Every structure is written in C-alpha cells, then in structure tokens.
Structure 1
Amino acid sequence: MISSRRPEDPPLYYDAHLFVCCNRRPDGHPRGSCAAKGSEKLRDYMKARAKEMGLQRLRVNTAACLDRCALGPCMVIYPEGIWYKIETTADVDAVLERHVRDGGRAAELMLPAT
C-alpha cells in the first residue's frame, strides 16, 4: 500500500488531476469501451468547462484503459482516487462543481470500489 503524502514531499503540481478513460475497443466487444460511450466528447467538454469555470491548478487528461469500461464512461480524480461514471455534460458539471470546485462529492455518480 502506498502511504499518504509526507511533510517533506514537494507541493503537488496540480491540486486535482482528472483522468478520463478514452479507451476504444472494437465494436461489439463484450466489455464495451468508454470511447464508444462518448467519453472523448465528454473529456473535451470537461476541459473547456473547467477553463470556463476558472478552475486553477487542475489538469484533465486522456487515459487509456482504466479497466472499468464496463461501468463507463468513467473517470478518476487524484489525489483522492475517487471514481465517477460520467454519461452527460450535466454529470461533468456536477463533478467539476461539487468535487473539484467545492471539495465535496457527486455521490450519485461515484463508482463502487469493485
């Protein structure tokens, strides 16, 4: 298990690092894929919306397979390690507003641990 941050660690470069799964499997794959479910457009919206909201010290990145495509489209926010299912731009707004901006959680969008 990785331990938590220590006082001697350098400051975080980003306060929040958002990884959006944009993995694409072949059509008809039994596990599906986040990209086939629209994650690329949602990632693009998230980047634009975060900038529009004036959110600082955050990074929205494309991720290859996060191994949860069956539950997707999905994303994870670090350093907390909170996973979300984002299906609409309203879901993206909820995550950006409640989790990133306000420091809370969009509980109804959170993915289970397993």
Structure 2
Amino acid sequence: MSDNLYFKKHVFFCLNDRDDGRQCCAKNGAQAAQEHAKRRIKQLDMNGEGKIRINKAGCLDRCEQGPVLVVYPQGTWYTYVDQSDIDEIIDVDLIGGGVVERLKV
C-alpha cells in the first residue's frame, strides 16, 4: 500500500434515484447491496484505516450500465445483480486483489 493512501481500497456504490423514468441504480437494489458490502467487510474485520472503505455515492453517471460501483485506487467499475455478485467482488477484488471480469463495465 502506498504511504499516501488512507484506505487500501475505497468502494463507491451509486445510489442515485432518478424520478424522470430513466434507469437508475437506486431502483435496482443499490442500497441493499451497499449495506450488504459494508456489513460483510465489517464482519471480515477489513474496515478501517489501511483497509477497505464502503461508501454511498450520488450519481456516478453510469446508471444505464447499473447498478454500478467503482473500486479505487485502480478505478475498476462493476455492475451486479445480487448479493452473490457483491460477495464475489469482495472476495476476488477487494480481498484477493484480482478483477471480476464478468462484472466489469
């Protein structure tokens, strides 16, 4: 981990809720997915300084591909359908350091 990074990985879940009929992450389970990820990271004792941070975000401007999340510092964008997809992102990317190719957008 670089000395200037407070978190090893920082995850932003788009929770944007559009009311104009366009696709949005909020209407596709984003809140539940973010809460699941945050809970699981805490259960694994992977949260906090030097570890992993799970955050809510407003519009990330990719709702048409969503729901979406982005992992920094590498900037990997993912979509997901259910908790098993979130678990795979946690296990493979956040903890394992790999990329879940099938969920990349």
Give the alignment's TM-score, normalised by structure 2: 0.90
| Residues 45-93 of structure 1: CA deviation (Å, up to 9, x unaligned) | 0100111122241110001000010111100000000000022000100
Structure 1 residue 65 corresponds to structure 2 residue 59: yes
Q: How far apart, in 1, do the equivalents of 2:53 and 2:80 lie?
A: 17
Unmatched 5+ residue regions in structure 2?
none
Which structure 1 residue ranges, 4+ long, deviate > 2 Å from structure 2? none
Q: How far apart, in 1, do the equivalents of 2:7 and 2:13 lie?
A: 16
- 2:28 corresponds in structure 1 to 37
Give the alignment of 1:23-102 within 5 angstroms. 23-26=16-19, 29-30=21-22, 32-56=23-47, 57-102=51-96
Task: Report the CA distance between 1:10 and its aligned residue.
Answer: 4.6
Q: How far apart, in 2, do the equivalents of 1:100 and 1:59 lie?
A: 10
The percent identity for this pair of structures is: 34
Bigger radius of gyration among the two: 1
Matched to 2:61, the amino acid is D
Task: Report the CA distance between 1:29 and its aligned residue.
Answer: 1.5
Question: Helix, strand or coil for the counterpart of 1:36?
Answer: helix
Aligned length: 101
Give the alignment's TM-score, normalised by structure 1: 0.84
* CA RMSD, 1 decimal: 1.3
Q: How far apart, in 2, do the equivalents of 1:60 and 1:53 lie?
A: 13
